[in-house]
């Protein structure tokens, strides 16, 4: 009989996992308590970045992802046809700039370490930076160009991955909540009880993003994934005057930070539709989704430091997403060492859109016992850096 997998969560990570597993020949059921692609996936910018990652396991994943994305997009477009909404993949490249004298050294040192780890990180002069971005504030002190950074429309890609999974035989159950585990004779997980009935499975994958902790608890284990909120501003449309993803170098510091209070750094980019997206803040406030004016004010202030010409541009929308944050800053991908049959695919924080496809492939390789593209050990729930937090939560 075919192996069966239940994937909990139909965001981009769950959809990618479902597609990888279905393509590997498994019988896949995707369950979501709401609708596909409407949680964290629908509240981010669609970043596929290497620029913000320090050398280490996350960068290994990001480099594999950067290499895989162009082929994946072509594959999905061929498979789903012209009528499918556009995926808006754009290999626009990133431009990271320092805005202070003190900031220049750390940025260049960071880029040099990334280069050693295989990132295409090009130190360029301020003049060259202004040639790439003519409207950039000329008061910048250092610049690094990252041609591998790119962007997609995250919801369209997520729906495409799910549609492709369906074409490979997966089924999707929306508005279905998880009620509890079904355990086998030796305490192993053999399925889940949902509010629409029981689902038996050889592998249960929790891909519920920042809600993964809640789902795992329902199944009997703890996972220290926490919501970290990020706010993005959207302007009205304008003629294209911003051509790359442009960040100030503070971004690099904020991603890896443990500080729960507000942090912002500018990430400014134009989209194909003509809107400019401005991010982003990082704040740990639980699942509180109320608007905080001081947060979006701080984002606007920093964005204007990069692109002063945006001052008269109307802001028409803001959205905040909850990113799945891990205390040791690494994604959680692999088998749960405490409950056989349970697998995790979460914890990518702000990088989940970019890392989703390789996460799906890695997981499918482990579940089917084939050779993974890279070593899965650093992302395993049993990794040493996570041990103190597992105990703390349990």
Partner 1 sequence: MGARAVPAGEDPIRPDAAGTVTIRVDGLEVSGIDGQSIAGVLMASDRLELRRTARGDRPRGVFCGIGVCFDCIVEVNGVHDVRACQRRAHDGDTVITTGDGARRSGAVS
Partner 2 sequence: MRQVVIVGAGPAGLAAARAARGAGADVVLLDSSDALGGQFWRHLPESRPSQHEKRLHHGWDRFRELRDSLEADPRVRIVRGGQVWAIETFAGVAVHVVVGESDGALRDREVFAPDALVLATGAHDRTLPFPGWDLPGVFTGGAAQALAKGERIAVGQRVIVAGAGPFLLPVAQSLASTGSTVLAVLEANSAGSIIRGWSRRPWELIPASGKGMELVGYAAGQLRHRIPYRTGRAVVAAHGTDRVESVTVAALNADWSPIPGSEQRVEVDAVCVSHGFTPRLELAVAAGCDLSGEGFVVVDDDQLTSTPGVYAAGEITGIGGVDLAIAEGEIAGRHAGGALGGAASARRRRRVFTGFAKRIEAAHGIKPGWTGWLTEPTIVCRCEEVTCGAIRQAARTTRSESLRSLKLTTRAGLGICQGRMCGRTVEDLLGAASTEGSLQDDASPHRRPIAFPLRLGELADPTRQLEHETSKGTQ
Cβ neighbors of 313 (< 8 A, separation 6 or more) are 235, 236, 238, 276
Q: DSSP code of 116?
A: H
Cβ neighbors of 125 (< 8 A, separation 6 or more) are 143
Name the one range near partner 1 by CB under 8 A: 91-99, 133-141, 232-240, 377-385: 232-240
CA atoms within 13 A on the CB side of 49: 24
Does the footprint of partner 1 cover residue 239 (CB under 8 A)? yes
Q: Site for partner 2 (CB under 8 A): which residue of 111, 163, 192, 390?
A: 163
Compute the distance between CA of residue 321 and CA of residue 323 in angstroms, rounded to an integer.
6
Cβ neighbors of 266 (< 8 A, separation 6 or more) are 246, 247, 248, 250, 251, 278, 279, 299, 302, 303, 305, 306
Name the one range near partner 1 by CB under 8 A: 119-127, 200-208, 238-246, 339-347: 238-246
Q: Tokens for 363? A: 């997981």
Compute the distance between CA of residue 375 and CA of residue 355 in angstroms, rounded to an integer.
15
Name the one range near partner 2 by CB under 8 A: 23-31, 177-185, 271-279, 353-361: 271-279
Q: Site for partner 2 (CB under 8 A): which residue of 40, 151, 153, 266?
A: 153
Question: φ and ψ at 245, to 5 degrees?
Answer: -80, 120
Q: Site for partner 1 (CB under 8 A): which residue of 81, 185, 197, 314?
A: 314
Helices 352-368 + 57-80 axis angle, to 10: 90
Residue (186 or 273) nearer to partner 1, CB: 273
Compute the distance between CA of residue 373 and CA of residue 15 in angstroms, rounded to an integer.
19
Does the footprint of partner 1 cover residue 171 (CB under 8 A)? no
Q: Site for partner 2 (CB under 8 A): which residue of 4, 27, 38, 214?
A: 38
Compute the distance between CA of residue 328 and CA of residue 331 in angstroms, rounded to an integer.
9
Name the one range near partner 2 by CB under 8 A: 54-62, 142-150, 291-299, 325-333: 291-299
Does the footprint of partner 2 cover residue 233 (CB under 8 A)? yes
SS3 label, residue 123: strand
Residue (71 or 274) nearer to partner 1, CB: 274
Residue (198 or 288) nearer to partner 2, CB: 288
Q: Residue 388, Cβ neighbours under 10 Å: how many?
A: 12
Does the footprint of partner 1 cover residue 186 (CB under 8 A)? no
Q: Site for partner 1 (CB under 8 A): which residue of 238, 340, 365, 393?
A: 238
Does the footprint of partner 2 cover residue 20 (CB under 8 A)? no
Does the footprint of partner 1 cover residue 240 (CB under 8 A)? yes
Q: Residue 13: which of 365, 335, 357 has the closest Cα?
A: 357
Chosen from partner 1, partner 2, none, partner binding at 232 (C-beta under 5 to 8 Å by type): none
Return the bridge partners of 235, or none: 315
Does the footprint of partner 1 cover residue 304 (CB under 8 A)? no
**Is residue 338 exposed (0-12), middle (13-18) or buried (19+ Cβ within 10 Å)?**
middle
Instruction: Provide the minimum distance between the beta carbon of 241 and partner 1 in the complex, in angstroms, as a whole number.
Output: 8
Instruction: Provide the minimum distance between the beta carbon of 330 and partner 1 in the complex, in angstroms, as a whole number.
Output: 40
Residue (262 or 351) nearer to partner 2, CB: 262
Residues 255-284 that bind partner 1 (CB under 8 A): 273-274
Compute the distance between CA of residue 249 and CA of residue 128 in angstroms, rounded to an integer.
17
Q: Site for partner 1 (CB under 8 A): which residue of 78, 312, 369, 384?
A: 312
State the residues that interact with partner 1 by CB under 8 A.
Answer: 236-240, 273-274, 312, 314
State the residues that interact with partner 2 by CB under 8 A.
Answer: 34-38, 42, 80-81, 83-85, 153, 155-156, 158-160, 162-163, 166, 172, 174-175, 233-237, 250, 264, 273, 275, 278, 290-294, 296-298, 300-304, 310-320
């Amino acid at each position: 009989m075919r192996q069966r997998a239940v994937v909990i969560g139909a965001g981009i990570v769950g959809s990618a996992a479902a597609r990888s597993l279905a393509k590997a020949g498994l019988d896949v059921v995707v369950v979501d308590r709401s609708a596909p692609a409407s949680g964290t996936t629908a509240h981010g910018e669609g970043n596929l970045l290497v620029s913000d990652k320090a050398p280490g396991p996350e960068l290994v994943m990001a480099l594999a992802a950067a290499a895989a994305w162009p082929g994946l997009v072509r594959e999905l477009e061929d498979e789903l046809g012209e009528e499918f909404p556009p995926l808006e993949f754009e290999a626009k490249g990133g431009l990271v700039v320092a805005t202070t004298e003190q900031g220049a050294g750390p940025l260049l040192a960071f880029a040099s370490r990334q280069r050693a780890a295989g990132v295409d990180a090009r130190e360029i002069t301020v003049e060259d930076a202004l040639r790439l971005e003519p409207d950039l504030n000329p008061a910048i002190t250092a610049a690094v160009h990252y041609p591998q950074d790119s962007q997609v429309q995250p919801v369209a890609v997520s729906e495409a991955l799910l549609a492709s999974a369906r074409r490979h035989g997966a089924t999707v159950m929306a508005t279905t909540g998880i009620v509890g585990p079904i355990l086998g004779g030796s305490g192993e997980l053999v399925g889940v009880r949902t509010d629409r009935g029981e689902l038996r499975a050889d592998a249960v994958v929790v891909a519920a993003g920042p809600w993964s902790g809640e789902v795992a608890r329902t199944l009997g284990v703890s996972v220290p994934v926490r919501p970290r909120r990020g706010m993005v501003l959207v302007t009205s449309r304008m003629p294209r005057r911003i051509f790359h993803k442009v960040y100030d170098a503070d971004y690099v510091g904020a991603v890896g930070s443990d500080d729960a209070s507000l942090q912002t750094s500018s990430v400014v980019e134009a989209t194909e539709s003509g809107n400019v997206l401005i991010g982003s803040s990082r704040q740990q406030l639980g699942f509180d989704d109320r608007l905080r004016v001081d947060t979006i004010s701080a984002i606007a202030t920093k964005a204007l430091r990069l692109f002063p010409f945006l001052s008269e541009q109307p802001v028409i929308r803001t959205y905040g997403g909850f990113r799945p944050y891990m205390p040791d800053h690494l994604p959680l991908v692999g088998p749960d060492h405490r409950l056989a049959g349970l697998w995790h695919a979460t914890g990518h924080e702000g990088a989940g859109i970019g890392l989703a496809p390789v996460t799906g492939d890695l997981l499918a390789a482990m579940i089917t016992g084939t050779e993974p593209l890279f070593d899965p050990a650093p992302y395993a729930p049993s990794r040493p850096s996570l041990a103190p937090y597992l105990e703390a939560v349990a």
